[in-house]
Chains A and B, each alone.
Chain A
Amino acid sequence: MTDATQSPRSVKTLLGARRGRGKMHWTDVFTYCYLGFGLFLMFAPVVWLVLSSFKTPAGLQEFPPTFLPLGQISVEVEGYEEPLLLFDVTMEDGSVQQLAQVRRIGIMAQMVDPENPGERLQIPIATREPVREMRMAWENYRDPLERFNFMRYLWNSVIVTAAATMVTLLINSMAAYGLSIYEFRGRNAIMLFVIGTLMIPITVILVPVYLVVTNLGMINSLWAVILPGAATPTGVFLLRQYMLTIPRDLIEAARMDKASEWQIYWRVVMPLAMPAVAVLAIFSIMWRWNEFLWPLIVLNRSEVYTLQVGLNAFQGELDVQWHYILAMTVVTLIPVVIVFAFLQRFITTGIASSGMK
């Protein structure tokens, strides 16, 4: 089943497309319409987010919104210290001329021709349109990184993700090793126990885990996010299934060579189980990077917020600064996109074969 998702099949697939005979069945038309619509529905929101994140606050205020991030062009004019904003003005004779605004008084504006700065013109503002060009508001990205705690959130998220993934990999692979390499009384009971914990997601035990974490003095520390989810039944299960396929002879041979059990685990079994370990690592990174409810409960001080909690706090403020939020959302999205771009195969086969997320 694992390989099935990868290999393109040469045989006629479901509903048997009849492309070869050049006859279009309604399902062929439907397929392409569906794919086109799907492409739009899945990608357009993200494209819109990225485009919007480069707009200035003024640009975001515009309604109806412009598609691209635009900014008004300003020009240096002789005799004026500050650059002046440029407009397309429809003159009385119907011609269109580019003029720079010196100042605006009510519905009239004093404007000059940049080519001929000596002469000032009185122009009603209704007859002009700002001249705009595509301009990326990089400050949306720069400011939060410099001014707010955003860099802190980013760092916290990285720490939580890295530390939690290491702990997860270590303890779950140890347990999987114990459950796959040895025959011992109670093994099945332990296996049942591990699967049983699947039935208890964190949403069911929020209050008591909060108490445990409080008792351990970990409230408002990143450990409170790292530790509770470290032992995952899916992780143990996935690794164990893989380790069961490792030939016993290898382990016996290592024992003959006087390798200790820990060395066998670390030097023999772990390298062989790398594909499964990699899948678990990717999942763990995604889980931790995206985790929301639990950090929301145990992290109450801004210094320890993770990205997700920080983003939520920003969007919940009374005066929502969308230009920053959109930019930070893009930053939060980037690692996931990178992971996905490089590891798509691992992720999709991992899900298809284990049915976990």
Chain B
Amino acid sequence: MAHADDKATGIGDVLQNVVAWPIRILFKLIDYPVTAIQNVIGIRRMPWLFLLPNLAFFGMFVIIPLFMNFAYSLTGGTELFISERPYTGGEQYGFLFDCDNYADPISCREDRFWKGIFNTAVFIFFQVSFMVLFSLITALVLNREIRGRGFWRAVFFFPVLLSPVVVALIWKWILLRDGILNAFLISIGLDRILFFVSPEWAMFWAVFVSIWAHMGFYTLILLAGLQAIQPDLYEAAEMDGTSKERVFFRITLPLLWPNMLVVIVLALIKGVQVFDEVYVLTGGGPGTATQFIVQYIYNTAFTNQVQNFGLASAASMVLGVVLFVLTLTQLAATRRRDND
């Protein structure tokens, strides 16, 4: 045993040296100029130097683009560079919101945008409600005294780490015309279903696959919340002979509520931005039945024959406003939870 340990540390040392050597060089390379700068500007200004790279990245890839996005949404044409684009004011927004009847996407001038919003709303409604429900049930089950809890937690959690493309391909393979699910349906005497031809089924599987892939994440947050509940509360309730149902509704649920709120808002934020899995799974089809708002933006800006950057930016701004409100809610919910 001791011998094996020696060998293991030996390999570890080698590995550490291989990794550590370039890192040490990097450190030396940065050390001299940074120390020289410190001698010039003094310690008190050093935090700004440490913040500089990060702020530069944020500036270049988040802040500037955010303002540019707004600027883009006020221009027309198909040029990529903003200096070559004609200013059109609020025309893009007018175009997006030009509807006879907001409840009916077909009556809108840009019907694909409204179809995208409509689809996203349907998706979020089912995905978030069922995901929260199943995350809660799973967390409750995992929080019980079960053997091998670590294993069971891993069972429900591992899809979170799979890439959306992998998740979509796994399920696509199951759901194909000649896939194993249809083989099963036929073997129990039912008819074959073409899942990707029926709009309802395509939406169902979009919701299902997305829940399958992400449920573990929310389960974990709820599980942490459950485990933070004081055990003496349950002991006291048991001594009083309180029924389990009552314990659940009077103790567990109210104390878990701050975590539930965080989970709901996080799921909403992710749900509004749904794209990856569903895009690979259904391609937005059949027709536009599972085309969501992000895919609308992606198609409008990058894949359509005419690349309409202005319209895509305007739609992004609408999405951005929704996400802004949701994120503020999330921060408030998180703060409330952590203060409790």
The residue in B72, B155, B212, B283 that gathers the most chain A C-beta atoms within 10 A of its C-beta is B155
Please state if A200 and B298 are interface contacts (CB–CB under 8 Å).
no
Q: Is B95 an interface residue (CB 8 A)?
A: no
- Quick check: is A34 within 8 A (CB to CB) of the other chain? yes
Classify the secondary structure of B's interface with A. Answer: helix
Residues in B with CB closer than 8 Å to A244 are none
Is A91 interfacial (CB-CB < 8 Å)?
A: no
The answer to whether B61 touches A209 (Cβ under 8 A) is yes
Within 8 A of A (CB), among B255-288: 262, 266, 273, 275-276, 280, 283
Contact, CB under 8 Å: A42 / B141: no
**Residues of A close to B319: CB separation below 8 A:** 203-204
How many residues does chain A have at the interface if contact means C-beta atoms less than 8 Å apart?
A: 108
Decide yes or no whether A347 CB sits under 8 A from chain B.
yes
Residues of A in contact with B (beta carbons under 8 Å apart): 1, 4-5, 8-9, 11-17, 19, 25, 27, 30-31, 34-35, 38-39, 41-43, 45-46, 48-49, 52, 61, 63-65, 170-172, 174-175, 177-179, 181-182, 184, 187, 190, 193-195, 197-201, 203-212, 214, 227-231, 236, 260-263, 265-266, 286, 289-290, 292-293, 296-297, 307-308, 311-312, 315-316, 322, 325-326, 329, 332-333, 336-337, 339-340, 344, 347-348, 351-353, 355, 357
Pairs of residues from A and B, 10 with the lowest C-beta to C-beta distance, nearest first:
A178-B50, A231-B57, A290-B163, A208-B65, A175-B54, A208-B68, A64-B183, A4-B227, A352-B224, A178-B47
Task: Select one of A1, A210, A351 contacting B217, CB under 8 A.
Answer: A351
Can you list 20 A-B contacts with CB-CB less than 8 angstroms, sorted by A residue number?
A1-B224, A12-B235, A19-B145, A34-B137, A35-B146, A41-B212, A65-B180, A174-B54, A194-B58, A195-B331, A205-B320, A207-B69, A231-B62, A262-B38, A263-B35, A290-B161, A290-B162, A292-B163, A297-B298, A333-B166
Q: How big is the B interface, by class?
A: 35 or more
Per DSSP, chain A at the interface is: helix
Query: Contact at B276–A209, with CB atoms within 8 Å?
Result: no
Q: With a CB–CB cut-off of 8 A, which chain A residues contact B229?
A: 14
Is there a chain A Cβ closer than 8 Å to B200's Cβ?
no
Query: B interface vs A, CB < 8 Å?
Result: 27, 30-31, 34-35, 38, 43-44, 46-51, 53-55, 57-58, 60-66, 68-69, 72, 80-82, 137-138, 140-141, 143-146, 149-150, 152-166, 169-174, 178-180, 183, 186-187, 212, 217, 220-221, 223-224, 226-229, 231, 234-235, 238, 244, 247-248, 252, 262, 266, 273, 275-276, 280, 283, 294, 297-298, 301-302, 309, 312-313, 316-317, 319-320, 323-324, 327-328, 331, 334
